[in-house]
Chains A and B, each alone.
Chain A
Amino acid sequence: MLSLQGIRKSYKIGPSEVEVLKGVSLDVASGDLLSISGPSGCGKSTLMNILGLLDRPTAGHYTIQGKPVAYDSDDELSNIRNRSIGFVFQQYHLLPKLTALENVTLPMVYRGASKALMLERGMRTLKLVGMDGRSHHKPSELSGGQQQRVAIARALAGSPQLILADEPTGALDARVGQDIMDLFLQLNSDQHITIAIITHDSHVARQCRRQAVMRDGELHE
């Protein structure tokens, strides 16, 4: 469904070029629950940015549902992010002035969805993560775990092909972090949602069916 082929990424730091990704290939199939782990500085974040179309590879191919990604059009990248990728961040990244429901429906605003559809889908996904009772609360009125649940609902709301979670439990204590992991596991098994979790936490990584490890810019499964 999503396929990376020989992805390379290098940065110019001063006069020298540093290669962070040294030819990464990865196929993500529908319904996968995949962890990408590795020590910090191994290139996890760079890989995530490329998977999430926030960054362009120096070389290699990326196809989504058989279609090569058109890196020359920023609008097209925005569209793919909007429809195919659902981000979950370590720091939740909810907009503080919006309610939980408004946060969840934000991706749909950018595809011009109707108000009725947004309300219906927003409430449905909030229910999926067990936050439908807090739809009109601001993020500041929610606990860390609750905020992350709202953020997961936001990622789900646009029904993307892939949920891309970057250290989703990193800012939470172990118990709440496990709750979030349980939610991911449940969403994957019940709703067949494809999830990739980038983490340095081996406990989190071990719970995923597919486990990949980044080492020195190379991905090993």
Chain B
Amino acid sequence: MIFQANLNEAFRSLASAKQRTALALIGIVIGIGSVIAMVSIGSMAQQEALRQFKELGTDVLTLEKDFLPDDDARAASTARGLNLNIVMGLPTAVPAVADVSPYTQGGGGDVFHMGKSLTQASLMGVTASFFAMNKLMIAEGRALSDLDSNSKFVVVGAQLASQITEHSGLPPTGQQIRMGDHVFTVAGTLAKASQAALRRFDPNTAIMVHITSALRLPGSEISLVNARVSGGISNDKAAADIQVHLSRQAGFPGVRISSPEELIKQMESQMRMYTLLLGAIGSISLVVGGVGVMNVMLVSVSERRREIGIRRALGARQSDIKGQFLIESVILALLGGLLGVVLGELAAWLVCRFANWQFDVSFAAIVLGVGVSTAIGVFFGIYPASQAARLDPIVALRAS
């Protein structure tokens, strides 16, 4: 009964000082909102990354030329790129490797079709295995094969393909496009590919030529090799086998091999840093919000000294007065918390829309928001409530 009376009293009191209540809420709303947004966006980003990994396969190793810290050694190794024949020989020489797909990346510029500038595109040199390795689908025409060696047939990304059609009204396959001094013939187009963080290129705006043609361009070298591990063999074992084989090849620079597990770990630790940072910002605004609640409660206590005196004269115990003000501060913080949850989820939803991620309402985040705001209400409400309870009834009754 006392609880219910105190609850009614709290709502009455907060409603009668609307402006003050609203201002006190802002801090809590921003604090809880940013914590909720952070937790939701963080967990969705992680899920998105995992989804991408699963899409591209967890059995694909990435080989990169190792940059040595020493300047001379680096100069020497840059001079010698990865040798295409040695890379292509990997599946034969190392049984742990099922398939390889090296590619070159670099160069690019404005693409012209029928004399009209379309868009910026990057030029990639790829092998026939590239499309399957990267889960890229052909929309029209054909993929590149090893018969396209040294030719100027290309596969273009979805965005570029649709621009060609839009601008000329012709199907892109068979069209001639120009980039710099080179004229390429479109052999096929790619279906629109989702943005995967793991791909180090954007297939939608790429022009893909056979790697043998790309390597003939000055300064061009293999930038990255994807290697699919044979079934039943662990990624670590395959990586070790590749290292042993490559170290025996004369003139082959050192390579760094990373497995998807490592990349996931790297990403997770990056995510943790990000979460920690946002968490710190959220906590600071929560403290600020809590101080706001305390401030409002102190004002409320000093404005209602006479009321406290009357209640004490009528038989309210110190604990009753304490409870009354504590309930008020918890309700204030909880109100802010609920608004913050709504705001945070809204922010997460917006981020998801722009990033094209799947949005889920995070129930853990809601529980967290409600729990944290209640705790803030109690923590920052205890001091004003104790002050109210400790007031001398005679002094309180005399207050104007």
Where the two chains meet, the residues of A that have a C-beta atom closer than 8 Å to any C-beta of B are 49, 52, 54-55, 74-75, 78-79, 81-83, 87, 89, 93, 95, 97, 106-107, 109-115, 154, 158
Range of interface residues on B (Cβ < 8 Å):
20 to 34
Contact partner, B1, options A55, A78, A113, Cβ 8 Å: A113
| Among B2, B313, B316, residue most surrounded by chain A Cβ atoms (within 10 Å) | B313
Report 29 cross-chain contacts, Cβ distance below 8 Å, ordered by A residue.
Answer: A52-B313, A54-B312, A54-B313, A54-B393, A54-B397, A55-B394, A74-B318, A78-B312, A78-B317, A79-B317, A81-B313, A82-B314, A82-B315, A83-B315, A87-B314, A93-B306, A93-B397, A95-B307, A97-B16, A107-B314, A109-B1, A109-B2, A110-B314, A110-B315, A110-B320, A111-B315, A112-B1, A115-B1, A158-B315
For B310, what are the chain A residues with a Cβ–Cβ distance below 8 Å? 93, 95
Seen from chain B, the residues whose Cβ lies within 8 Å of a Cβ on chain A are 1-2, 5, 12-13, 16, 306-307, 309-320, 393-394, 397
A52: chain B residues within 8 A (beta carbon)? 313
Whether the Cβ atoms of A81 and B12 lie closer than 8 Å is no
CA distance A81 to B394 in the complex (A): 13
Q: Give the 4 A-B residue pairs with the shortest CB-CB distance, closest first.
A: A82-B315, A78-B317, A107-B314, A110-B315
Taking CB atoms, residues of chain B closer than 8 Å to A115 are 1
Chain B: interface secondary structure? Answer: helix
How far, in Å, is A91 (CB) from chain B's closest CB? 9
Q: How far is the CA of A79 from the CA of B318 in the complex (A)?
A: 11
A84 nearest CB across to chain B (Å): 9
A110 contact from B2, B13, B309, B397, Cβ within 8 A: B2
Q: Are A75 and B318 in contact (CB under 8 A)?
A: yes
Q: How far is the CB of A75 from chain B (nearest CB, A)?
A: 5
Residue numbers in A under 8 Å from B394 (CB-CB)? 49, 54-55
Give the distance to chain A from B10, nearest Cβ to Cβ, in Å.
12
| Set of chain B residues within 8 Å of A113, measured between Cβ atoms | 1
Chain A: minimal CB distance from B331 (Å)? 16
When distances are taken between beta carbons in the complex, the residues of chain A under 8 Å from B312 are: 54, 78, 81
Q: How far is the CB of A140 from chain B (nearest CB, A)?
A: 13
- List the B side residues contacting A82 at CB < 8 Å: 314-316
Point out the residues of chain A lying under 8 angstroms from B16, CB to CB.
97
A87 CA to B393 CA, complexed, in Å: 13
Q: Do A74 and B317 touch across chains, with their CB atoms under 8 A apart?
A: yes
Please tell me which one of the listed residues A97, A112, A114, A154 contacts residue B314 in the complex, with CB atoms under 8 A apart.
Answer: A154
CA distance A221 to B313 in the complex (A): 28
Q: How far is the CB of A221 from chain B (nearest CB, A)?
A: 26
Q: Which of A78, A81, A114 contacts B318 (CB 8 A)?
A: A78
- Cα A106 to Cα B13 in complex, Å, equals 16
